[in-house]
Structure 1
Amino acid sequence: MDAGFLEGMVRGYKGGLLTQNNYHNLTQCDNLEDFRLQLSSTDYGNFLANEPLPLSTATIADRATEKLVAEFNYLRTNAVEPLATFMDYITYAYMIDNVVLLTLGTLHERDTHELLERCHPLGVFDTMPALCVATNVDELYHSVLVETPLAPYFRDCLSAQDLDDLNIEIIRNSLYKAYLEDFHSFCQTLPSPTNQVMSRILAFEADRRSLNITINSFGTELSKDQRAKLFPTIGRLYPEGNNALARAEDLDAVIAAVDHIAEYKTFFEKAGSGSYGNGGDEGESGNSLEDEFFKHDVELNKMSFLQQFQYAVFYSFVKLKEQEVRNLTWIAECIAQDARDRINDYIPC
């Protein structure tokens, strides 16, 4: 009764996602002007009509993201509790990314204005510009984040004092761990099937983070104890798999840690050697591990639309739309750089 209209809307939005045929037509374009023309016959319509030529890939990505944000904001504005809080939780992940982007950018003396423009609009909050003047973790917390929903997640980060690259990465992963655990707890208070569908999705998100943290920590100063503290305490790898990951010293140990979960084992088999790590380069024998994660994520989020009268579709719509923006950006970039051999390496959703 409360969310039926909005669920109908979000399913309509999902129905507007690009089809395999749309993607095929986009990959055949000779230039970005053709690309814009092809998109105008889809749900995107004339969203690039007022953009000056020549079109850039960044412009396409920005406008596509704006469309996603407008649709999300329409749903969020009309939502009542508990859907309103559920949708707020979706934005916290983007807030964390924005905090890390601004803090890292400031550390490397990047232009503040440019950094703020690169922030994801779903994660914008009032005190965000003040992030650019924070010099240590206490300052970051007390002057900027104490009034935001991220404040409770920051408790475990206050022990790290200096804002250097390693500590900022530790902060990012600590925040995500606290966020995923909190979001998971909130979803368990919601009626079935929302709690079941979201459990599946968040479990995978937690496991993906644990695997990425482990693989990316090899050869860095991050100790095994520090690594173990960053793993979320939810997911299919928790607790035995996480314990094995905490002790892992190489990729073979990581693969052994996921041996009992068939899908995860398959990710490593499909990913080529030399293609591990967060966003690693493509290996000789296939996609990167990160690509396999994205594909599984897309499948999980598509499956959430098979169940009626539940909130997971709002989360899944955002994730699928985000993948679509990544696909558009990838195809546009391949056209702009004339890299035709890589143009089909997108992940359809």
Structure 2
Amino acid sequence: MEALFFNASNGFLEGVVRGYRNSLLTQNVYNNLTQCENLEDFRLQLSATDYGNFLANEPLPLSTAVIAEKATQKLVAEFNYIRTNAVAPLSTFMDYITYSYMIDNVILLTLGTLHERDTHELLERCHPLGVFDTMPALCVATNVEELYNSVLVDTPLAPYFRDCLSAQDLDDLNIEIIRNTLYKSYLEDFYQFVQTLGEPTRESMSKVLAFEADRRTINITLNSFGTELSKEQRAKLFPTIGRLYPEGNNALARAEDVDTVKACVEYIPEYKAFFDNASKSTGSGGGGGMNGGAGGDDSDGASLEDEFFKREVSINRDTFLQQFGLAVFYSFVKLKEQEVRNLTWIAECIMQDAKDRINDYIPLF
């Protein structure tokens, strides 16, 4: 009966998103792309896929930035088609997906303004899924209270921002604290929302969000080493969901270095394997770098992040094994994002003649 009601409201859109999923690039296509000698060949190979002639009107020579931008536009168009036709609770679920992009845009503009970057350039770099009406005003905010009262109070991020008001100054460290505080509140709120939904959405999304929370907790810990962030501040940034919560979170709050981080998470076999695999790898660019830290750097960061992205792909791919659930809408966006990163990585390797690293992307299947 639950499946019957699901199909009445969401059956058509579930069919659409599964069609989008089936159009993701296969391994054979990736093999062909990695054999391209230049970006014109790259464009020709993509024209035979679902991307079609999305680069046909772009002047030569092509750039990786244009390829990434046009591929992202395709993702946004597909997302907006679903969002426009959705009804509750799917429409609310799709809104939650956009909140993470809104957070990224807020931090991008705030950091860029702090470092006196060009406002127009910053706005162009913002992700289309996270655009909101008052976003340009972020470029004139001078402190946290002004940022909230003048810009964010009427946005969906306002409830998440209340815990950030104690940080008065907009410096690099406080902005990173704000980023991770917003993400913590967002993930916890999203998790609570999916608990109100039926199965299999609740089970699938709980698994997805738990992994995202754990990834952020580990990254925050690693990136806090060597910064002014205290252990008490670090602990407050950890989401209170996930497989690491609460024992792993408590241990990570006391961690001193990479080895102790590994020891804190080794009771979860997958996470222990991430560190083991990262220590054997020099790292690749397919994952897109660290996300979710509080500053600093880690020598194994790139390869460890790739391990996280591989696991994320696996979790989101598995959600399509279930039917009559909303998780596939979230998972499609994440898989498509990874595809865009893969295309950008391969194109960049072709342009720089770095064929020895061209296969260091994250396969989707």
> What code does the residue aligned with 2:290 have?
N
Which segments of 5 or more consecutive residues in structure 1 lack a partner in the other structure? none
Aligned residue number for residue 92 of structure 1: 99
Select which of 254, 260, 275 maps to 1:253: 260
Q: State the 1:156 CA deviation.
A: 0.6
State the match for 2:343 in structure 1: 328
Q: Are 2:179 and 1:164 equivalent residues in the alignment?
A: no
Q: Is contact 1:101–1:115 with CA below 8 Å preserved after alignment?
A: yes
**Is the 8 Å Cα contact of residues 96 and 123 (structure 1) preserved in structure 2?**
yes
Where 1:52 maps in the other structure, the secondary structure is coil
Per the alignment, residue 5 of structure 2 pairs with none
8 Å Cα contact 2:290-2:302 kept in structure 1? no
Indicate yes or no: 2:362 matched with 1:347: yes
- Partner amino acid for 1:124? V
Q: Say if 2:321 is the partner of 1:306.
A: yes
Q: 1:217 maps to which residue?
A: 224
3-state DSSP of counterpart to 2:145: helix
Measured after TM superposition, the shift of residue 348 of structure 1 is 1.2
Query: Could you tell me how far 1:250 is from its partner in structure 2?
Result: 1.0
Instruction: Give the share of equivalent positions with the same residue, in percent.
Output: 79
Q: In the alignment, is the contact (CA less than 8 A) between 1:272 and 1:282 conserved in 2?
A: no
Instruction: Tell me which stretches of 4 or more aligned residues in structure 1 moved more than 4 Å.
Output: 273-277, 279-283
Residue 136 of structure 1 corresponds to which residue in structure 2? 143
Q: Distance in 2 between matches of 1:92 and 1:175?
A: 10
Q: Secondary structure at the match of 1:2?
A: helix
Matched, 1:208 2:185: no
| Secondary structure in 2 matching 1:236 | coil
TM-score by length of structure 2 reads 0.93
CA distance in 1, matches of 2:266, 2:298: 24
- 1:288 is paired with a residue whose SS is helix
Cα distance in 1 for residues equivalent to 2:290 and 2:339 = 20
How much has 1:253 moved relative to structure 2?
1.2
Aligned twin of 1:31: 38
- For the Cα contact (< 8 Å) 2:223–2:298, is it kept in 1? no
Between the aligned partners of 2:109 and 2:320, the Cα distance in structure 1 is: 35
Q: Of 330, 334, 354, which aligns to 1:315?
A: 330
Check if 1:292 corresponds to 2:299: no
The SS at the match of 1:41 is: coil
Structure 1 position 274, deviation (Å): 9.1
Q: Shift of the alpha carbon at 1:252?
A: 1.5
Aligned match of 2:290? 278
Query: 8 Å contact 1:32–1:332 — kept in the other structure?
Result: yes
The alpha carbon displacement at 1:278 in A equals 2.7
Tell me the C-alpha RMSD between the 2 structures.
Answer: 1.5
Query: What secondary structure, in the 3-state scheme, does the structure 2 residue paired with 1:116 have?
Result: helix
Q: Secondary structure at the match of 1:3?
A: helix
- What runs of 5+ residues in structure 2 fail to find an aligned partner? 1-7, 284-288, 292-296
Give aligned pairs, total.
347
Query: Which residue of the partner structure matches residue 118 of structure 2?
Result: 111
AA at the equivalent of 1:162: D
Alpha-carbon separation, structure 2, partners of 1:249 and 1:97: 28
User: What are the superposed Cα offsets for residues 40-94 of structure 1, whole Å, 9 maximum, x if unpaired?
Assistant: 0001000000001110100000000000000000000000000000000000000
- Tell me, yes or no, if structure 1 residue 56 matches structure 2 residue 52: no
Paired with 2:193 and 2:165, the residues of 1 have a C-alpha distance of 24
Letter in 2 for 1:156: D
- Offset, 1:251: 1.2
- After superposition, the C-alpha distances for 1:201-237 in whole angstroms (9 at most, x for unaligned) are 0000000000000000001000000000000000000
Q: Does the C-alpha gap of structure 1 residues 122 and 264 become closer, same or farther in structure 2, counting only changes over 3 Å? A: same
Instruction: Write out per-residue CA displacement over residues 304-336 of structure 1, whole angstroms, 9 at most, x where no aligned residue.
Output: 000000000000000000000000000000000
Distance 1:162 1:287 in 2: 30
Deviates more, 1:207-216 or 1:271-280: 271-280
After the TM superposition, which residues 177-256 of structure 1 pair with which residues of structure 2 at under 5 Å, given as runs? 177-256=184-263
Question: In structure 1, how many angstroms separate the alpha carbons of the residues matched to 2:298 and 2:162?
Answer: 35
| Aligned match for 2:22, one of 15, 32, 41 | 15
Instruction: Kindly indicate whether residue 86 of structure 2 is the aligned counterpart of residue 74 of structure 1.
Output: no
Residues 1:281 and 1:245: Cα distance change in structure 2 (over 3 Å) = closer
Letter paired with 2:321: L
